[in-house]
Amino acid sequence: MPYLCAAIERVSLRDPVVVSPDAGFAKRARRFAHRLGAPLAIADKVREGHGETAEIVEIIGEVADRDAIIVDDFTISAGTLVEAADQLIARGARSVTAVVTHGVFAEGSMARLDRSPIERLIVTDSIETQPVELSAKVAIVSVAPLFAEAIGRIHRRESISVLFQE
């Protein structure tokens, strides 16, 4: 989170709001919001039947005239990010940035991202090889120093829990 928050701060968004793509990620999104000094909004999804497809039916929180930052742990198709971005723009968000820890990126995800209102997608390099060519909208943040420190601490039999404090 510190690496991703630093990348968000470098973008210099005006009046940001952090957006959780669903209620399940809200607790972690709240930590991003706290660290960035921004309010939190939550996308409310409804899943019809037993399928994989969910539809965002509401955005809980104020997003109008704000720069929205969707935060999530991973994305494969970018579908949830794009749907949330569409709903944020429909509700008056000035811009949408997406921030994801692990970008898995399946075939078609970059085309979906390019057609979306998402201005930038910030991801870590936790997944090195990508099966698709990345969009110009994708910015990669290296977490190599974090992994190096964790490996060193494990080798020296030191705690790694300090690496995950906020």
Buried b (16+ CB within 10 A) or exposed e, 87-123: bbbebebbbbbbbbbebbbeeebbebbeebebebbbb
The secondary element (H helix, E strand) that includes residue 102 is strand 95-103
Which CATH number is correct for 2-164, 3.40.30.10, 3.40.50.2020, 3.90.1150.10, 3.30.450.20?
Answer: 3.40.50.2020
If one compares 45 and 159, the residue with the highest pLDDT of the two is 159
pLDDT of 147 reads 84
pLDDT tens digits, 55-108? 777 899 999 999 999 999 999 999 999 999 999 999 999 999 999 999 999 999
Tell me, yes or no, if 137 is annotated catalytic. no
pLDDT tens digits, 140-161? 999 888 889 889 999 999 998 8
User: What percent of the chain has pLDDT above 70?
Assistant: 93
- DSSP codes joined into one string, 3-31: HHHHHHHHH--SSEEEEESSGGGHHHHHH
pLDDT of 52 reads 57
Considering the entire predicted model, what is its pTM?
0.89
Annotated catalytic residue, options 36, 45, 101, 103? 45
Which residues have C-beta within 8 Å of that of residue 121, sequence separation ≥ 6?
78, 81, 97, 98, 99, 100, 103, 113, 135, 137, 138, 139
